[in-house]
């Protein structure tokens, strides 16, 4: 079975804030291949950038793990009552193009997003015979996207498999 992963970085940032923990992209790939016979054929990560150097170490790490990283400049719009500017980089079209481009060589798609705009993409991928799994968390994904998928997985249930763990620094010298 060939799998494609599509991670909407913007959406997942807010999901992880709601959950109170961050998932490790390396552990996501390991989890994806933990089912016998499952191979990751394509892995995409989509994110908006404030400038060309924004998130550079993180993006480099994703690339070294095997993700294709797609970026777009953040566009500022509106202000909230506290006068803060909001930025957004809508990458839904890029997600749709990439998944349609690889659809002929995969069997399953894991879509880590909560974007209502991806509902039609999920429907079309299913029409093409692919299994579509939407991964997010309750309250962060619209009913329409959940209904368009074959299955919904709440990331909260995968905390033991996916949570990023910061290894505690080991002392160089031990005192006895």
As a whole number, mean pLDDT of residues 1-23 equals 95
Given a cut of 60, whether residue 89 has pLDDT beyond it is yes
Strands 75-79 and 85-88: antiparallel
Q: Which residues touch 83 (CB under 8 Å, ≥6 apart)?
A: none
- Band the pLDDT of 83: cuts 50, 70, 90: low
How many CB atoms are closer than 10 A to CB 39?
Answer: 12
pLDDT, position 87: 56
As a whole number, mean pLDDT of residues 114-129 equals 97
pLDDT, position 27: 97
pLDDT, position 171: 42
| Backbone phi, psi, residue 57, to 5° | -60, -40
């Amino acid at each position: 079975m060939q799998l494609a992963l599509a991670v909407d970085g913007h959406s997942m940032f807010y999901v992880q804030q709601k959950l109170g923990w961050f998932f490790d992209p390396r552990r996501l790939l390991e989890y994806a291949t933990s089912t016998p016979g499952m191979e990751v054929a394509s892995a995409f990560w989509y994110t908006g950038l404030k400038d060309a150097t924004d998130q550079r170490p993180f993006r480099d790490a994703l690339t070294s793990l095997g993700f294709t990283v797609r970026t777009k400049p953040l566009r500022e719009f509106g202000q909230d009552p506290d006068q803060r500017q909001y930025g957004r980089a809508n990458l839904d079209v890029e997600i749709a193009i990439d998944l349609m481009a690889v659809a002929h060589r995969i069997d399953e798609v894991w879509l880590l997003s909560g974007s209502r705009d991806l509902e039609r993409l999920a429907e079309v991928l299913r029409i093409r015979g692919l299994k579509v799994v939407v991964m997010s968390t309750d309250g962060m994904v619209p009913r329409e996207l959940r209904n368009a998928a074959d299955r919904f997985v709440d990331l909260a249930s995968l905390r033991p498999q996916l949570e990023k763990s910061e290894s505690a620094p080991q002392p160089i010298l031990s005192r006895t």
